[in-house]
Amino acid sequence: MSNLAQKRILLGITGGIAAYKSIELIRLLTKAGAEVQVVLTDGAKAFVTEMTLQAISGHPVRSTLLDPNAEAGMGHIELAKWADLIVIAPASADFMARYAQGMANDLLSTLCLATESPVLLAPAMNQAMWRHPATQANAKLLAERSVLSIGPADGAQACGDIGPGRMSEPSDIFNAVTAHFENDSITQDLSGQHWVITAGPTMEAIDPVRFISNHSSGKMGYALAKAAMARGAKVTLISGPVQIAIPSGAHVIAVKSADDMLAACQQSMNTQADVFIGAAAVADFKMKTACDQKMKKQSDTDEVTLTLVKNPDIIATLAQQKRAKTIVGFAAETQNVIEYAKSKLERKGLDMIIANDVSRADIGFNQDDNQVTVITKDKTWSPDKATKSQLASVLVEFIQQHTKPAL
């Protein structure tokens, strides 16, 4: 039986073209056995109709705060108490701003303030609106208040722009809801701990249009973040450029270069973190001096020389500075995997290293599956090949068992 059976989900829909996707989300939730009630803002009514949503959900749609019939029994308070989870999809920039400031000037914002149940936001807006410092500040404030979120995704938008701001797909939001209720049954033994995890590639600029990078998808780092959060950890995810939805509940810092990533790690670990996992594939080299303008082809030569210098060694720096009680590295190798990983463990002063063979086509970069060997100073262990999500849960358990006590 689905873990959504008989769960009561209040779906809030705010104004935006992505509102049409909420119809599919309702279908997925009700098919899984959840009971769904819908609340519309005035803006949402321009994109979806109450009749359609009522037909799909099987319940009357609410949109008015001061409805004499419903408010005879303090209906908005009862609705706030009824929900096991409130999902806002799409969550507009305007709604996020009002929610962050504690405003209660319509039914949906009032419900969010009146409920004691978790709230999950699926932001959707123009890419410039999402990037605006005010929106980012509101998103950060809501995350600090334990408001969950998923997305936004990156890609083409209805306005013609390309960038972050698309609402996550209904299937992804459905999976986030499912994961939320699964997490309720998982032991919250990491509660109170702060884990900092890096993920994805770094990009080192050659000129304004070219860069040095690698094939890392970020899937392993993002899976580790989700697994740690599922057990109650506060997670800061420092991510290079990837095409993955932001894990609900994670504090995500987007970076590009290795220098950016190191600065973000140090800032996030001003006070000592419990665990640091360096799952990012950091470029070893960068341009000594990146070009300000696009490099042009030279008609008199078929060759070009780039002068590269070493990037900062992020994990070795953090280990030396004792920024975390337990520091875990990754070693993506194509040969002599175990030998090179053990050398890296000792040379960089790590507590643990997770080695994988990225020369294999069935695991590693851009794949959904992975197989690794975990190496500590006194132990070598190889869990079975699994999906990155499954493997992440296994690795988080192993790391927790080997986490150093507080200094």
In sign, the C-alpha dihedral spanning 187, 235, 320, 382 is positive
- Both tokens assigned to 134: 């005010």
Of 205, 157, 150, 201, the C-alpha closest to 179 is: 150
Element (H, E) at 13: strand 8-13
Q: Say how far apart CA 353 and CA 23 lie, in whole Å.
A: 45
Coil, strand or helix: which one is 354? strand
Which of the following is catalytic: 112, 159, 265, 291? Answer: 159
Q: Say how far apart CA 360 and CA 354 lie, in whole Å.
A: 16
Q: Tokens 């082809």 belong to which residue?
A: 297
φ/ψ of 398, rounded to 5, equals -65, -45
Strand order in the sheet with 251-254: 251-254, 234-239, 194-199, 273-278, 324-333, 352-357, 373-376, 380-381
Residues 6 or more apart from 244 whose CB is under 8 A from it?
Answer: 200, 217, 218, 219, 222
Q: Say how far apart CA 94 and CA 98 lie, in whole Å.
A: 6
Q: Say how far apart CA 261 and CA 251 lie, in whole Å.
A: 14
Residue type, 6: Q
Of 202, 227, 197, the C-alpha closest to 214 is: 202
> Are the C-beta atoms of 10 and 82 separated by less than 8 Å?
yes
Of 338, 333, 343, 336, the C-alpha closest to 363 is: 333
Bridge pairing between strands 194-199 and 234-239: parallel
Q: Is 265 marked active-site?
A: no
- Both tokens assigned to 5: 């059976």
Q: Say how far apart CA 372 and CA 358 lie, in whole Å.
A: 10
Active site amino acids: 159
